[in-house]
Structure formats: structure tokens, C-alpha cells
Amino acid sequence: MRRHPVHQIVAICGALLVISTGGRCQQKAKTDEMKSSTEVRKPAVAGAFYPDNPQALAQQADRFLANVPQQPVPGRLVALVAPHAGYVYSGQVAAYAYKQIQGKTFDTVILIGPSHRALFSGASLYDGGAYETPLGRVSVNVKMAREMMSLNKGLRHVPQAHMAEHSLEVQLPFLQRVLGDFRILPIVLGPRCSSEELEALAGTVAQVAQGDGEVLLVASTDMSHYPSYDAACRVDKGTLRAIESFSPQAVAQNEARWLKEDIPDLSCTLCGLDAVMVTMMAAKALGADEVEVLKYANSGDVPIGDRNRVVGYCAVAFYQRGGEISGKEMIVSEELNLQEQRELLKIARMAIEQKLEGKQHLPPESSYPKLNERRGSFVTLHKKGQLRGCIGRFQPDIPLCQTVAQMAQAAAFSDRRFPPVSSSELNEIEIEISVLSPLKEISSVDEIQLGTHGIWITRGGQSGCFLPQVATETGWSKQEFLEHCCQDKAFLPKDAYLQEGTTIYTFTAQVFHED
């Protein structure tokens, strides 16, 4: 794992106290450690938030996961945000988060969630032996827990914080279905955490997560409580924009702003606001530089939901894009010929058609060898000459034919600038595909050739890109090309490309579209 600097936190451990007070204290400490390492936190909400029957629970989680397309984020996954309501309401949204790690390996999952029942200050870290669900026990990484407590004297175990709390428990069955052997580090945040405590906790989380093994962070939160359906959609859209900015301060300010709007029955924008902020800070320290909202819905979207009083849910991924991409080589042969282009366009259209029919389309290996090369691609949709959707990925981790199928579906149904494509308008949609070269980091904007190079600009966790054809279609100068990418796509100052700390990548693309 790539290492990144984090805040250095120094704390005095209790070893001197044990030595100075003699063997009885030392023996007591050993006895307490043995006792806590065998403690098991029993399920508190099985049969209420999710099925208490193991077979029914496994089937329900698997069914939710099967409904999610396999679209991994283009980089190294660092953290997830997942909801914690009853599965009948939020289970399908949670599946979008956990689909990202299906079949992957993580040694430890650090779970961070809010307390709903216990009143205490600071954070409670469970250092007992295991959490239990109907699917079995999940061991706690006791060694990591003790390390965290030695680094951060504000961390302690508050038993009542974990005893009946559901925010972490409901994450476990999904984790048990998608991961093999893993351990957890459960952290529950009290309702009175100071900003200093949150920053210190984030630093401690990042520090221990850089130890041995692969570590995933999971923030547990629901979104707006309890406005009307339309109000929730409006509030939650603003909150997701704040999360996408990758700024914990923006997320906190977003809540303060919405609560001043006097929206009827709105009590919060994120019940796990502190958990999300800690996770964002720690994820940044661990190298994450990109955010992707995977799914949004609310309780009014399910058949039994009351649209007059809803709770919002989201699935979000934080990942490191640049480090992963620059370290991989793509096997790239000559450009695609006309037959290969037509085959890719056919695959893209078929993927959209099958999605409209409720089917999941992921083509097998193509009979054209070049379509099986691992390459990045963008799919752009136009309707009557106007943009109708555009989504792509740089990561060269699956065959090109599958990348195109996934990006075609994403452009048609997941580009949040537009409503999903409907069956009635499909015949009016024209598909354009851009097959990408590997990214190349540049040291000077003089290396950019307008009309030949696309650009990807990243700074401080925010990024944006333009395909090569954008410069040709707009007639922009190189300066305008760069300024618009900074301002319109990365939401940075328009001159950010000139500032220290900004990284610019170039790439080329073979672009073709339907006749």
C-alpha cells in the first residue's frame, strides 16, 4: 500500500503506571485483556432491521447485491459510506456500496457510526472479541484497537454505546456476504464530539490503517430525517454535492445551511455527520483523491414508504485514482478498424437496451482480440445534436468491450445531469465512443496539443477532465481549454492549472460514433 503522511499523534501509555504499582496491577491488566478479548457483542436488531434467520438474511443480502451492476470505481478503494436503516428501506442502496468490494480482500474494516441510544461524549472503541450476527461472528482486530487507544487517549470503551446500537451492526451481514476472512474495528461516536476530537480520531484511524494488511473504512449514516419526499430529494442532492467536494467543512456547513431553511420536519441532513467527516479526513490522509456517489434513494421510493415523511440514503465511494492509474501498463495495439468500431457501438447500444428491459448485460470475451485489451473508454450520448449523457473511466482493469458496455449504461442511466434515458427516446440517441490511451502526467502545459490531447486536472481531492474533441468542438484556445476544465469540471479556480499542487495528465482518444 502506498504510504501517505498523517498527523503525528503522541500519547502516554499506561505501562509506567503498571510498573510503578507492582505485580497486582500488571496481573489485573492481563486478566482484563483476556476477558475483553473473549467478549462477544450479540445482535441487537436481528429480526427487526434485518432477518434473524441466517438463510433468509443471506438470500436477502445476495438479492440486493445481484441487482447492482458490477462497476468498480477507477482506482484504489479507500472508504465507503453506507446507510443503516432497516433493509426493506435502505438495503438496496447499501448493496451499491458493498458491491464495490465483492470478491476483494480486506484484512480489517474500520466501522464508524453514530450513537442513536447512548449519551456520551467523544468516541467509543469496542475492543472485545467479536460482533455476532445470524451469519456468524466477526472478530475484532484487538491488536489494532489497543494501538488506537495507546495513540489517542480520548478513545475508550463505553459498553452502552455498542450494546443496542444498530448503525454498525446492520453493515456486518453485507460485509459477511462479500468478504471472506476479515476483522472489524467498531467505533461509535457520541452526540457531543468536538471538532478537535474528530480531527484527532481521523488522524489516529489513518495512522493505524497504514499498518500491516489492507484496511477499508466504512462510515455509517442515513441522510435527511423526516421531511417530505420532494424536500428530501432537494436537501439530499445538496448534501451529496457537499460530499463530492471532498471537504468535511463543506459537509458541516451544508447541514447548518439547510437547517436554517425552516424546511418542515427536517431534523438533520446526515445522522452520521461526524462519522462521515472523520471518514473523509482519514480517507484523504490515506491517499484518496476522488469521490463517487454510487446510489441515492429514500424511504419514499419503496412500496411501503410514506412520502410525507421520509429518510434519505446514499452509497458513496472514496478512492485514489492517480496512484493506481500511473502504476499500471495497458497493452495497446494499433487503432480499431471499422469492423471493431461497429462491434463496440453495437455492444454499447445492446447494453442500454438490455438495461431498459431490466437485464444485466456484460459481454463475454469478444471474437475481436483488440476488444479484449484492458483499456479505458468514455461513452457519450447525443440527442438531436445535444448532449444527453457522458460517463467514462480511465482505469484499464477490464476488457474494453466490458468497459464500453458499463459506461454506456452509466451514461444513459447514471449521469445525474440528465434524467435516465427512456425506451421511447432510444431511437433518437446517437452513441459516441472514445477509446483512451494511458494517462501521462505532464510537467508543462506546453506539452498539450489541442485537438489531440484530452486533459485530466486534479488538485486537493477535486478533479475534472475534457476529452480531446472538446477543444475542437468549442474552438477554445489552450488557455480557455484549461480554464474551463478547472472551473466547470473540477470546480476549482480557473487559473488552478498554474498553481503549485495541481497535477495535469494528458491522453489521446480514438473517437467514433454511429452513423
Cα→Cα distances 48→57, 138, 224, 243, 282, Å: 12, 20, 22, 30, 32
Sign of the dihedral through C-alpha 293, 66, 379, 319: positive
Residues 138, 130 contacting (CB under 8 angstroms): yes
Average pLDDT, the chain: 87
Return all residues near 13 (Cβ < 8 A) that are at least 6 apart: 150
Give the H/E segment covering residue 215.
strand 215-220
User: Which amino acid is it at 71?
Assistant: Q
Per-residue model confidence (pLDDT) at position 370: 87
Q: ∠303-304-310 over CA atoms, to 5°?
A: 100
pLDDT digits (tens, 9 = 90+) for 146-158: 999 999 988 999 9
Residues 75, 320 contacting (CB under 8 angstroms): yes
Per-residue model confidence (pLDDT) at position 334: 57
Residue 79 pairs in a beta bridge with 217, 318
Per-residue model confidence (pLDDT) at position 463: 80
pLDDT digits (tens, 9 = 90+) for 12-51: 222 222 222 333 334 434 444 444 557 899 999 999 999 9
Cα→Cα distances 220→189, 276, 365, Å: 11, 8, 38
Instruction: Name the least confident of 23-32, 202-211, 328-337, 373-382.
Output: 23-32
Q: How far is C-alpha 94 from the geometric centre of its chain's CA atoms?
A: 11
Indicate the burial class of 278 (C-beta count within 10 angstroms; 0-12, 13-18, 19 or more).
buried
Query: By C-alpha distance, which of 326, 334, 332, 337 is closest to 375?
Result: 332
Per-residue model confidence (pLDDT) at position 19: 25
Asked whether the predicted pLDDT for residue 71 surpasses 60, the reply is: yes
Sign of the dihedral through C-alpha 364, 368, 371, 373: positive
Residues 87, 134 contacting (CB under 8 angstroms): no
Per-residue model confidence (pLDDT) at position 82: 98
In this structure, what DSSP letter does residue 487 have?
A: I
Per-residue model confidence (pLDDT) at position 448: 93
Give the percent of the chain with pLDDT over 90: 65
How far apart, in whole angstroms, are the C-alpha atoms of residue 65 and residue 52? 19
Query: By C-alpha distance, which of 117, 114, 115, 111 is closest to 98?
Result: 111
Query: By C-alpha distance, which of 125, 137, 218 is closest to 181?
Result: 137
List the 509-513 sheet strands across, edge first. Answer: 386-393, 377-383, 429-436, 509-513
Residues 152, 32 contacting (CB under 8 angstroms): no
| Dihedral, 251, 252, 254, 258 alpha carbons, nearest 10 | 140
- Domains in the chain (CATH in brackets) are 15-222+268-320 (3.40.830.10), 338-513 (3.30.700.20)
pLDDT digits (tens, 9 = 90+) for 240-278: 999 999 999 999 999 999 999 999 999 999 999 999 999
Kindly state the cell numbers that stand for 347: 455492444
In this structure, what DSSP letter does residue 488 have?
A: I
Query: In 3-state terms, what secondary structure has residue 133?
Result: strand
Number of H helices, E strands in the chain: 16, 19
How far apart, in whole angstroms, are the C-alpha atoms of residue 278 and residue 69? 29
